[in-house]
């Protein structure tokens, strides 16, 4: 399993973001990213007993789960019901499933964030005919009350907020290592579940029809496996479907940059000078929002095509050192590493806010700030003042991790698009005729991507126009799509 | 004191916003509005002893104050220092005060929200030569740690978070009813302090040079006194200066509408249909922000001039009943009452969010929702679900009180403008030659309003152009302003 | 007539904008500003005979007019009909006039631009009961075919495109110096008609009930007369009504800055660096439009309040010399003189476009470019290249006169607002009870300003909300307005 | 040559847009589209002699050209110099060519619009080492004075404004059918030149190294040839490079929609209701511009992904029949045919403006308006009123042809991007090692597309950031690009 060993190496080299915990290296980065959820205010962690030491049963006497506290099920149910209202596409799939059950016989093992939105997905898969067993892909992100509601509803869930690394792998193992049940579909977010099966139960792949993977990291791993000729089932990369990309990056970040900055710093945007590093989809969203709020926005780019777009959209394109002394806010959205290094941090003005909207925790060289002459002061959750000997303070958000995940919330509607894409990918892989998919990584077919979009239009009371036969012929298109080439964004 | 009796009557008629508390009628509305502060996370209310029952002294042995806990002073000091960084104008005034002390001899009694920003104002007044005694204008809004820092710094502060009504008046009384010290200037926010002196110590006005009043309500009271011929000193209405108005209403609300909605509901703005009632400065700010975030915004108006502006700015002008069934969010900014009545609430769609950015708590007829067939469910702080018998839920924010005060924060920069205006008004009234101001209510002179603005320009590294002599002559202006007629907005 | 003599002096001092014509000093500046009209393409000036030497009669045998060519009447009628479609308010006034004739007995002498829109106004005044005689306020702006249609319709019009100065005053004289008809109302645009009556027929004022004046210049003259105690009838300043101001300045300029630049230079806005001098209503309009098109906009200001607004709206506030070397476009909107002087012109980069949206032709010191070392090259109508010895070219538009009037068009809808305001001002002055107006200059009552706005709402299918009795009482307002204080903008 | 015969068929079926001319079917659509040029005001077509009947020589005695009038050369030279200022990339290529001549030995035959911008391209190719012979791709679009300047400069140009169809093919033939000179590169715009060589001189392809094709139509023809196995040299599709697409569609149309509407109708945008059919790049540009100007914009779409984007950008997604009665402006940008049919035209309101920004002249069914009961009235160049029996008028622009080409201008900067792309494509094909390109149609390599963009950044004083070695390694990229996958838009 060379490819995984390599990855472990990579993890070692990255600066550990949390000094006080010592995680072994094999745990994936994403599984330790903190995750701020709408419902985190319900966290009553008074009970310190480990769930692994408890014996719980739901009201029907079923005990095949391991969660924090089954008694929180009612509260979790309400959270799920609220989420259902903004996940119209999954509810529509459920309605259609009243007749046919496209996932009848499917045994899905999943490893994702366990939130109200995931619960809506799981209950939809169940309505479509699937059996599900589920673990968390992140040791912090589980909404305990939602896990309780799922357990109460009969799902075999193994997850709680604040797992140890050992707990993390134990939960995953409990999902797959079970007498008399073997998964035939994998739904993964980060690749840890896939990794575990590869490592411990490689024979299981004989019955598995496919993997649906959601995250950048997980997709990267799959492509590596594929290149190395070691991918033994078809895999669907749902991360790169157009609809998901636009929502996760452009539309969601357009809102979360404002939200994340406000919740942490209460900063006024009007008149502020901001530099945004990177003008991809995330950068475009950040820039548009801040410009609209009256900020003066500068952009840095390496790609001349994106750079020219920034110019045409009305942003001055600069190198970071040209503006670093004068800006009030620095935002990274490059996907790169060491974009904001100590040299720049040294030159920022007093009170400058620094945050990352891009990728993991690599873009700001936070490690370079852990030197003796600098003082760190935690002023709020997720907000540190780093203080220079002369008194200058830099306001560092989320220790350089993703602002949008750490200090803002992801709207249910955005998660709905992701979840629907996942559901359709499972249906496609499960029902595909022999030979349509080989042992390779696939993008969701364009037509299904369009279908995901169309299921979300009623939310906006939006009415699609249909092509006439004559028009379809003129354009050389099928009336039902796909309407654009695959590369269309 | 007929005029105050009348006002009491008015308070009675307004729907009491908090059923569980019974306030006597003489307490002003504003003093019970809840107020969400940036520093509220520091609230460790473990100590239940009333401050009135405690004996505390600061490190110099001074005990002429009454606050929650003097030990929080260090933490409060840091809050004040952070606020100083965004209140450049007051810091500039302090610098100039190193030579002259324009408030030398001034004895200022104040009654305002007691926050870090107010502390910066108080310490500035002190640096300008004034002595200060201070009470809170709101029973909830005091930042205890800031009060502690002020007490430690030698200020006679009487305030804590969670005062009873009796506490409220007791604190005010302790500010003015003191041996050997008599105020000669009043700084008021809401008119309660002024009211108390009128009622209890009318003779005090003989030595008072003027009142500076900040709030709509307080200004209204002053105009009533003036009309009735009972105003016995000059008063400065700082509420209506151009700079303050634009910042409090247009620029601040442009940001706080987004912030308030996100913090309470995590709603995604893109594609949402929103109706904004009222297209004054507040409405203009709300509409601009939501349009920029991709919402589809409808406007209602009564004034044809504002209505035409809404049209030209790209908003459909409708009556509320035309769109009430289809909108996702309803926002009131009219200053009027009963704008959103039960009839409209009955017709809203499931999940519709309703909030008030306008005035007090009158715009949404919340009382009409307190009927037996409707269920109220508190889902978060400041967020209620009101549930109809058929299951429809309306999401009501802050029980109809001001969203921007209750669920968002006011940026320090906005408060800086207000505080600077207050300081300059105090200086102007205190130093005005005999006869410049009579027993009437005045607006801050245009030139001082411009001065407030100019003190805030360095924050943005903004460089003002100066008129040449020739140009000033051509325009018929003094080179140093004022540059516009008084009515200019 | 001292005040007019003074003004003549002032005219002398201003740089004459057109070297090749020698105008005597008494003609007003505005009357020689070129004016680009939508219908200018119909100008078939093949006939060189002066209208004063022609004998023309309309189809009914009436010859009391002097215009270019009565045969163009049909074409002019179509222009008028098209204009009627975008002047809904005047058409509404006509409808109401079917019963009452509020101008019955009024004898209006007018001096304005003679365009299709003015024709709609004149025919409305006629429908309201007035008799009209009319001259042009500008020697270039008359649409000959419209004048023909008016003459054919029985109006006594004296105007053609390309009048000499002598023609100009002759036409005005023909309007007032007529046997058996004496005006009792004046509608003026620039003050030349008023001036002429003051100078030649002062006794006429005995029967005149009032003056309605439209232009900045004319209003300025009236205030001077008033100050000098020489104003002998009431005058209405319609220039400063809120509705007109917002439309003429903010909303109209927001569009005409783009239009004027495109028609003259075909410049692409995206990515261009622009400096806008002045952030009043005109500057706000220009900045908003250019920002939206992807330009990077800098602002200069002298007034700190407007400067702070520019900051909050997202524009860097600079002094002109900070950016003059780097900008692609310079736009003046200050109302001041010598804002862009030779020193700045010398430092602009090659290809820089310079234009004026502000006031008259004073803002750019064009005279300073008339030196031997600079070459002027006329590259298009209204576009000059001024070429420095080193080959650098500055693109000067409209020789520094108003871009929006010279190189763009004023939308009919904007003119509709002006014309309606004028009509209502005439009605108000003509019908006002004795004593309501004295020999002074008045603003249009707020309520009538609101009425003008309300008459234009149906164009946008806009629906106004009405106050309930209870709400009106709560706000202390009359249900029918006025809804705002007079100073509200 | 079956494929061309087929195309002739297609031309027949399209509605002929110009009744008064009878063109044979073999002339391509694009060659008869009218084309509005910045310099069209210089058209002094007093001389009616056909250029083919004239004997002209340039000042060096060379007569190998055929143009309108060699005496206009000076004026044309100035136009070219002005264009050079906004074509920085070509000028940069010339500079680099001082050392190496990447097109040394190239013999380029071209067929494009002959404008100042094309002249800059041709003179650049010449500076790079190429010999050029050139004809016009459109019978109307030639700027005669530019053609004169090129002829004076020694180029063999065969083109004038107002060619007959016979002239058109004669000019093309003169370019290729020349003693002692045979082209080895083709630069085509529309495919007519390629067609002519295929038809008349197929043997010429033996020496031809490649074709660079610019237009949608021409590219379509090449793909057909390729599919049919009849393409005998490599061809470069420069139409679909990212940079060109974004500029031609999104950024250019964002400006030209406003410009085209203003120049033709002087309409005010504020408050207008507009429906935009199609939300691709062109539709996105139109919607953004109109929204910014205060219009209320509705969108129609067939593709759910684009539809969802429209929702998130704040536009109501409707079917055309939902809004057709209420809108003031209808804009088509679909690329489809019969989007606005007679049924919709019948239901539009009086004064509704209808125009096409999309594709050819197919989107509005103009033919359906050529019925006896409707009256057409030409009110301006490119503006027709179509009048219904009840008096309703529809304002049809450019008879349904492309508004942006017919009634606006294409900024030089946009043409610069196209021209640079063409030049680089020629260089690439001419210098490519044997075997890199086969007899197929290629997109410009991503890296060269990025190079085009980078050459235009200095115009905006834009500074690109360079990857460090470490960062490039982290991203797995070459430091010099390409930076994005090929499908990135």
Q: For C301-355, write each residue's pLDDT tens digit.
A: 999 999 999 999 999 999 999 999 999 999 999 989 999 999 999 999 999 999 9
| pLDDT tens by residue, A52-74 | 999 999 999 999 999 999 999 99
Could you tell me which residues are beta bridge partners of residue C237? Answer: C213, C443
In this complex, the residue of C243, C306, C474 whose CB is nearest that of residue B308 is: C243
Comparing CA positions, the residue from A83, A85, A82, A101 lying closest to residue A93 is A101
Report how far residue D38's alpha carbon sits from residue A12's, in angstroms, rounded to the nearest whole number: 62
Closest chain A residue to C295 measured between Cα atoms? Answer: A314
Reported in sequence order, the residue ranges of C47-202 that DSSP labels E, i.e. its strands, are: 107-112, 131-136, 156-158, 185-188
Residue-wise DSSP of C175-202 = HHS-TT---SEEEESSSHHHHHHHHH-G
A106-114 mean pLDDT: 97
Comparing CA positions, the residue from B390, D356, B317 lying closest to residue C461 is B317
Report how far residue B450's alpha carbon sits from residue B453's, in angstroms, rounded to the nearest whole number: 5
B86 or A228, greater pLDDT: A228
> What are φ and ψ of residue B331, in 5° steps?
-125, 130
Residue B31 pLDDT: 41
Instruction: Report C:93-132 residues touching D (Cβ under 8 A).
Output: none
Report how far residue D465's alpha carbon sits from residue A399's, in angstroms, rounded to the nearest whole number: 25
Residue with tokens 């007090």: B360
Answer for the pair B259, A257: CB distance below 8 angstroms, yes or no.
no
Query: Residue B7 pLDDT more than 80?
Result: no
Q: Does D387 touch chain C (CB under 8 A)?
A: no
For the ranges A236-250, A400-414, C64-78, the one whose mean pLDDT is highest: C64-78
Query: Residue D32 pLDDT more than 60?
Result: no
Contact (CB<8Å) C243/B305: yes
In this complex, the residue of C271, C293, C314 whose CB is nearest that of residue A296 is: C314
Residue A67 pLDDT: 97
What residues in D contact A316, CB-CB < 8 Å? 462
> What are φ and ψ of residue D246, in 5° steps?
-60, -40
Contact (CB<8Å) D255/C293: yes
Residue A86 pLDDT: 85
Query: Residue A156 pLDDT more than 80?
Result: yes
What number of CA atoms fall less than 13 Å from residue C316's CA on the CB side? Answer: 22
Q: What is the pTM of this model?
A: 0.90
Contact (CB<8Å) C411/D268: yes
Strand order in the sheet with B441-443: B156-158, B131-136, B107-112, B185-188, B210-213, B235-237, B441-443
Q: pLDDT averaged over chain B?
A: 89
Report CA-CA distances (Å) from B174 to B144, B181, B219, D286. 18, 11, 24, 65
pLDDT range class, residue C5, cuts 50, 70, 90: very low
Instruction: Measure CA of the first residue to CA of the last residue in chain D; give whole Å.
Output: 36
Query: Residue B19 pLDDT more than 70?
Result: no
Question: In this prediction, what percent of chain C has a pLDDT beyond 70?
Answer: 90
| pLDDT tens by residue, D257-268 | 999 999 999 999
Reported in sequence order, the residue ranges of A36-113 that DSSP labels E, i.e. its strands, are: 107-112
Residue B323 pLDDT: 98
Neighbouring CB atoms inside 10 A of C73's CB total 20
Report how far residue B314's alpha carbon sits from residue B311's, in angstroms, rounded to the nearest whole number: 5
Report how far residue D376's alpha carbon sits from residue D370's, in angstroms, rounded to the nearest whole number: 8
pLDDT range class, residue B489, cuts 50, 70, 90: low
Report how far residue D256's alpha carbon sits from residue D357's, in angstroms, rounded to the nearest whole number: 9
Please tell me the distance in Å from C231's CA to the nearest CA on chain B. 22
What residues in B contact C484, CB-CB < 8 Å? 303, 305-306
Give the Cα-Cα-Cα angle A55, A58, A61 (nearest 5 degrees).
Answer: 85
B5-30 mean pLDDT: 31
Closest chain A residue to B264 measured between Cα atoms? Answer: A38
In this complex, the residue of D254, D268, D414 whose CB is nearest that of residue C255 is: D268
Please tell me whether D206 is known to bind a ligand: no
Contact (CB<8Å) B317/C246: no
Instruction: Report C:197-256 residues touching B (Cβ under 8 A).
Output: 242-243, 246-247, 251
In this complex, the residue of B271, B293, B313 whose CB is nearest that of residue D311 is: B271
Report how far residue A258's alpha carbon sits from residue A331's, in angstroms, rounded to the nearest whole number: 11
Q: What tokens appear for B43 in the block? A: 């609230």
DSSP helix, strand, coil percent of chain C (3-state; round to 5) = 45, 15, 40
Residue D46 pLDDT: 56
Please tell me the distance in Å from C414's CA to the nearest CA on chain D. 8
C460-483 mean pLDDT: 94
Contact (CB<8Å) B312/D291: no
Query: Residue B1 pLDDT more than 50?
Result: no
Residue D47 pLDDT: 67
Comparing CA positions, the residue from B165, B81, B160 lying closest to residue B123 is B81
Neighbouring CB atoms inside 10 A of D375's CB total 11
Radius of gyration of chain C (CA): 23
Please tell me the distance in Å from A480's CA to the nearest CA on chain B. 24
Comparing CA positions, the residue from D258, D256, D255, D248 lying closest to residue D280 is D248
What residues in A contact B273, CB-CB < 8 Å? 460-461
Query: Residue D216 pLDDT more than 90?
Result: no
Question: In this prediction, what percent of chain B has a pLDDT beyond 90?
Answer: 77
Instruction: Report B:354-373 residues touching C (Cβ under 8 A).
Output: 362
Please tell me whether D123 is known to bind a ligand: no
Q: Does D296 touch chain B (CB under 8 A)?
A: yes
Contact (CB<8Å) B292/A294: no
Comparing CA positions, the residue from D153, D189, D143, D117 lying closest to residue D40 is D143
Report how far residue A132's alpha carbon sits from residue B470's, in angstroms, rounded to the nearest whole number: 82
In this complex, the residue of A271, A311, A314 whose CB is nearest that of residue C311 is: A271
Answer for the pair B172, B193: CB distance below 8 angstroms, yes or no.
yes
Residue C231 pLDDT: 95
Report CA-CA distances (Å) from B156 to A41, B69, B152, B422. 38, 14, 9, 19
Q: pLDDT averaged over chain A?
A: 89
Strand A210-213, strand A296-300: pairing = unpaired
Burial of C78 (0-12, 13-18, 19+ CB in 10 A): middle
A207-218 mean pLDDT: 93
Please tell me whether D129 is known to bind a ligand: no
SS3 C247: helix
What residues in A contact B462, CB-CB < 8 Å? 271
Residue with tokens 């002006």: C418
Please tell me whether B214 is known to bind a ligand: yes
How many Cβ contacts (< 8 angstroms) between chains B and C?
A: 158
Q: Does A134 touch chain C (CB under 8 A)?
A: no
Report CA-CA distances (Å) from A384 to A276, A347, A387, A399. 20, 18, 9, 7
What residues in A contact B461, CB-CB < 8 Å? 273, 326
Q: pLDDT averaged over chain D?
A: 89
Neighbouring CB atoms inside 10 A of A65's CB total 24
What residues in A contact C291, CB-CB < 8 Å? 291, 314
Question: In this prediction, what percent of chain A has a pLDDT beyond 90?
Answer: 78
Query: Residue C408 pLDDT more than 80?
Result: yes
Strand order in the sheet with A210-213: A156-158, A131-136, A107-112, A185-188, A210-213, A235-237, A441-443
| pLDDT tens by residue, D149-186 | 999 999 999 999 999 999 999 999 999 999 999 999 99
Q: What tokens appear for B286 in the block? A: 């709300």
Answer for the pair C399, C385: CB distance below 8 angstroms, yes or no.
no
- Sign of the dihedral defined by the CA atoms of residues B150, B153, B157, B161, in that order: positive
A touches which chains (3+ CB pairs under 8 A)?
B, C, D
Report how far residue A310's alpha carbon sits from residue C338's, in angstroms, rounded to the nearest whole number: 35
Q: pLDDT averaged over chain C?
A: 89
Please tell me whether A281 is known to bind a ligand: yes
D touches which chains (3+ CB pairs under 8 A)?
A, B, C
Query: Residue C44 pLDDT more than 80?
Result: no
Reported in sequence order, the residue ranges of C233-382 that DSSP labels E, i.e. its strands, are: 235-237, 273-277, 296-300, 316-317, 329-332, 353-356, 375-380
> What per-residue string of b and e applies to D169-204 under the rule 16 or more CB within 10 Å gives b?
bebbbbbbeeeeeebbbbbbbbbbbbbbbbeeeeeb
Strand A210-213, strand A235-237: pairing = parallel
Contact (CB<8Å) A337/D242: no
pLDDT range class, residue A35, cuts 50, 70, 90: very low
pLDDT range class, residue C3, cuts 50, 70, 90: very low
Question: In this prediction, what percent of chain B has a pLDDT beyond 70?
Answer: 90
- CA-CA-CA-CA dihedral for A322, A326, A330, A334, to nearest 10: -10
Query: Residue C119 pLDDT more than 50?
Result: yes
Please tell me the distance in Å from D76's CA to the nearest CA on chain A. 30
Query: Residue A19 pLDDT more than 70?
Result: no
Contact (CB<8Å) A254/B351: no
Residue C14 pLDDT: 30
What residues in D contact B294, CB-CB < 8 Å? 311-314
pLDDT range class, residue C277, cuts 50, 70, 90: very high
Question: In this prediction, what percent of chain D has a pLDDT beyond 90?
Answer: 78
Q: Does D309 touch chain B (CB under 8 A)?
A: no
Asked which of A186-195, A238-247, B264-273, B389-398 is least confident by mean pLDDT, the reply is A238-247
The answer to whether the bond into C482 is cis (omega within 30° of 0) is yes
Q: How far is CA A480 from the centre of its chain?
A: 30
Residue A82 pLDDT: 86
Please tell me the distance in Å from A297's CA to the nearest CA on chain C. 9
Note the helical H segments in D359-445.
403-406, 412-431
Instruction: Report D:430-449 residues touching A (Cβ under 8 A).
Output: 449
In this complex, the residue of A293, A295, A313 whose CB is nearest that of residue C294 is: A313
Residue A32 pLDDT: 40
Q: Does A291 touch chain C (CB under 8 A)?
A: yes
Residue A89 pLDDT: 95
Contact (CB<8Å) D316/B295: no
pLDDT range class, residue D86, cuts 50, 70, 90: confident
What residues in A contact B294, CB-CB < 8 Å? 251, 254
Query: Residue C485 pLDDT more than 80?
Result: no
pLDDT range class, residue B8, cuts 50, 70, 90: very low
Neighbouring CB atoms inside 10 A of B144's CB total 24
- Sign of the dihedral defined by the CA atoms of residues A98, A99, A102, A108, in that order: positive
Residue B47 pLDDT: 67
Comparing CA positions, the residue from D282, B255, D163 lying closest to residue A261 is B255
pLDDT range class, residue B9, cuts 50, 70, 90: very low
The answer to whether the bond into A306 is cis (omega within 30° of 0) is no
Residue C9 pLDDT: 32
Contact (CB<8Å) B335/C456: no
pLDDT range class, residue D359, cuts 50, 70, 90: confident
pLDDT range class, residue C409, cuts 50, 70, 90: confident
Report CA-CA distances (Å) from D270 to A78, B120, C158, C252. 45, 45, 35, 9
Q: What tokens appear for A447 in the block? A: 């037509």
Report how far residue C439's alpha carbon sits from residue C441's, in angstroms, rounded to the nearest whole number: 7
Answer for the pair C421, C454: CB distance below 8 angstroms, yes or no.
no
* Neighbouring residues of C258: CB distance < 8 A, sequence distance ≥ 6: C269, C289, C290, C293, D255, D258, D259, D262
Query: Residue C13 pLDDT more than 80?
Result: no
């Amino acid at each position: 399993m060379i490819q995984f060993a390599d990855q472990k190496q990579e993890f070692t080299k990255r600066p550990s973001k949390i000094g006080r915990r010592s995680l072994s290296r094999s745990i994936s980065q994403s599984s330790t990213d903190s995750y701020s959820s709408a419902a985190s205010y319900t966290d009553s962690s008074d009970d310190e007993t480990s769930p692994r030491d408890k014996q719980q049963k739901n009201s029907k006497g079923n005990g095949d789960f391991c969660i924090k506290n089954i008694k929180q099920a009612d509260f979790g149910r309400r959270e799920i019901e609220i989420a259902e209202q903004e996940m119209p596409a999954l509810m529509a799939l459920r309605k259609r499933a009243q007749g046919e059950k496209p996932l009848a016989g499917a045994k899905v093992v999943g490893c994702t964030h366990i939130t109200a939105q995931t619960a809506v997905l799981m209950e939809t898969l169940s309505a479509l005919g699937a059996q599900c067993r589920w673990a968390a892909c992140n040791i912090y992100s589980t909404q305990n009350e939602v896990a309780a509601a799922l357990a109460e509803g009969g799902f075999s869930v193994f997850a709680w907020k604040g797992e140890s690394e050992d707990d993390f792998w134990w939960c995953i193992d409990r999902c797959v290592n079970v007498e008399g049940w073997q998964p035939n579909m994998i739904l993964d977010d980060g690749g840890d579940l896939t990794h575990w099966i590869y490592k411990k139960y490689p024979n299981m792949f004989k019955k598995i029809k496919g993997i649906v993977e959601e995250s950048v990291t997980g997709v990267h791993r799959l492509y590596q496996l594929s290149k190395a000729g070691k991918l033994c089932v078809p895999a669907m990369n749902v991360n790169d479907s157009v609809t998901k990309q636009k929502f996760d990056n452009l539309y969601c970040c357009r809102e979360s940059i404002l939200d994340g900055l406000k919740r942490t710093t209460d900063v006024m945007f009007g008149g502020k000078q901001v530099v945004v590093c990177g003008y991809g989809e995330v950068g475009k969203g950040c820039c548009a929002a801040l410009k609209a709020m009256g900020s003066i926005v500068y952009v840095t780019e390496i790609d001349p095509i994106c750079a020219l777009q920034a110019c045409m959209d009305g942003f001055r394109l600069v190198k970071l050192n040209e503006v670093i002394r004068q800006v009030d806010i620095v935002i990274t959205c490059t996907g790169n590493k060491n974009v904001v290094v100590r040299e720049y941090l040294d030159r920022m003005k007093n009170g400058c806010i620094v945050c990352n909207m891009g990728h993991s925790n690599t873009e700001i060289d936070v490690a370079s700030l852990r030197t003796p002459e600098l003082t760190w002061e935690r002023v709020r959750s997720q907000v540190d003042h780093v203080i220079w000997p002369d008194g200058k303070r830099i306001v560092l958000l989320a220790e350089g991790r993703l602002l949008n995940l750490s200090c803002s919330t992801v709207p249910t509607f955005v998660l709905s698009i992701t979840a629907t894409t996942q559901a359709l990918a499972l249906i496609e892989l499960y029902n595909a005729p022999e030979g349509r998919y080989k042992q390779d990584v696939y993008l969701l077919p364009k037509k299904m991507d369009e279908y995901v979009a169309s299921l979300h239009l009623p939310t906006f009371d939006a009415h699609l126009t249909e092509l006439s036969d004559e028009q379809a012929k003129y354009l050389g298109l099928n009336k039902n799509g796909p309407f654009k080439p695959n590369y269309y964004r």
